[in-house]
Amino acid sequence: MQMHEIEKTDVLVLCGGAGTRLRSKVRDRPKPMADAGGRPFLDILIDYAASCGFRRFILLTGYMGDFIERYYRERNCGLSFTISREKELLGTAGAIKNAQMLIQSRTFICLNGDSICGVNLKDFIKFHAEQQALATVVLNKRGAPPQYYNDYGAVRLGHGGRITNFGEKTSAKGGYVNCGIYAFERPFLSLIPGGKKLSLERDIFPRLIEKAVYGWVTAARFFDIGTPERFSLFVRSLSAG
């Protein structure tokens, strides 16, 4: 994908969750806006994607969405921000479906608003295109970090990187961790029922194993800020450079 195509590719950011596990540290704002080294975590995530050439961002908000909307309405940084607001929590897949009318590009990417993994998104999009995939997921080797075992299912791969299984949460080793970075083709949207609370990981991906869904494995460090301990780990990583 050429740079001019990347600039026209929509980046959806899932930032509508209630973030109940992080409330002890973040009470006055939604989880993605948690102060991480003097900046909202969401700013760090967006700037990471922008460093790869992306310019168009659709923020999928829900809980305390006004906070996010006010902030990005006033942020003047040469990027385009559009808000897709959920009236009720719709889950990761439901939120993407809710934003369907705002998505302009045929290929688009989606980032979880509470995690980050410093992969080269241009290489990721290139892999997605080469496989002629309907959907592609960034994966990290399960086993690092081990404290995530009980929160993430073990994704398993077959020949050529094709995903063969989205496992349930388990403490067992093996397989890969879903890093919350996705590439989709527009026809994927038609596979998500509208008006329902649905999860990509539990409700949609397991039903699409027979279709062209691929995994792209990276060794880049993966951070999830969903708990106070993990958020503190991320903040410490910023200080360490």
Span 135-157, pLDDT tens digits:
999 998 865 455 555 566 678 89
pLDDT-based confidence at residue 27 (cuts at 50, 70, 90): confident
Question: What's the mean pLDDT in 167-195?
Answer: 83
The answer to whether the CB of 179 falls within 8 A of the CB of 218 is yes
pTM for this entry: 0.92
What does the pLDDT read at residue 77? 84
Which range, of 41-45, 85-89, 128-132, averages the lowest pLDDT? Answer: 85-89
Question: What's the mean pLDDT in 65-82?
Answer: 91
Question: What's the mean pLDDT in 171-179?
Answer: 73
For 3-240, CATH gives 3.90.550.10
pLDDT-based confidence at residue 18 (cuts at 50, 70, 90): confident
Question: What's the mean pLDDT in 191-205?
Answer: 92
- 3-state DSSP of the chain: CCHHHHHCCEEEEEECCCCHHHCCCCCCCCHHHCEECCEEHHHHHHHHHHHCCCCEEEEEECCCHHHHHHHHHHCCCCCEEEEEECCCCCHHHHHHHHCHHHCCCCEEEEEECCEEECCCHHHHHHHHHHCCCCEEEEEEECCCCHHHHHHCEEEEECHHHEEEEEEEECCCCCCEEEEEEEEEEHHHHHHCCCCCCCCHHHHHHHHHCCCCEEEEEECCCEEECCCHHHHHHHHHHHHHC
The better pLDDT of the pair 168, 210 is held by 210
Q: What is the mean pLDDT of the chain?
A: 88
Domains of the chain by residue range: 3-240
